[in-house]
Amino acid sequence: MTATLLGHGLTARFGSREVFTGVDVSVDAGSVLGIVGQSGSGKTTLLRILAGLTAPAAGTVEQRGVELRPGTIGLIAQHPRLVTNPRWTLRRIVAEPATIARRNCDIEAVAGRVGLDPALLDRFPSQVSDGQLQRACVGRLLVQAPRFVLCDEPTAMLDPLSARAVIGLLQALVDDGAGMVLVSHQRRLVDARCRDVVDLDVR
């Protein structure tokens, strides 16, 4: 059975304001689903619901064909500095999933895969660029090996060269069999990368 992340009839509200209603989402392993919409349309909220970080006002989320375990879903945030511990070195950030699982991992090899200079691994987030820190976050995903990757504007804070590199690294995860949800305001990027698109502006 193909691993699939499904959302049925998802609805989100903030107080009395309904952000979106009745949204259906389906992403298979090895495919990319895009989510687009204007600011305030609920893109990040929908991603958080799929990740299990926010409860929907209505609807359900399920995973089919996947053994339920911690780390099934991985996240890449728009602002890498907001989701990394500033007191941790990049080495510790990349190694976090292996540390939690109590298994060994060749962090230098992972750094090489994501184009991160191993000499940077013992630096702290404040000592590297946004692009380098985002590469470390992608490296952490490689160590985690999630079945689904949820990306919230992953290139918004990056220069064009770093943005292309990060998108290429994320695509490599898909090529290795992960399913991906890509949130972006860049319709051209979504159209180029995604098989299916959920447009929150038309609801």
pLDDT score of 69 more than 80: no
Domain range for 183 is: 4-202
Instruction: Please write the tens of the pLDDT for every residue from 116-152.
Output: 999 999 999 999 999 999 999 999 999 999 999 999 9
- pLDDT higher at 161 or 60: 60
Instruction: Output the DSSP codes for 73-130.
Output: EEEE-S-GGGSS-TTS-HHHHHHHHHHHHT----HHHHHHHTT--GGGTTS-GGGS-H
| b/e burial code for range 136-150 (CB count within 10 A of at least 16 → b) | bbbbbbbbbbbbbbb
Per DSSP, the three-state class of 178 is: coil
The secondary structure element, H or E, covering residue 157 is none
Number of domains making up the chain: 1
pLDDT score of 202 more than 70: no
Amino acid, res. 125 = P
What integer best gives the mean pLDDT of the chain?
91
The share of the chain scoring above pLDDT 70, in percent, equals: 97
Output the pLDDT for position 40. Answer: 86
Output the pLDDT for position 186. Answer: 82
Q: Which of 44-48, 90-94, 112-116, 192-196 has the lowest mean pLDDT?
A: 192-196
Q: Residue 191 is part of a domain; what is its CATH number?
A: 3.40.50.300
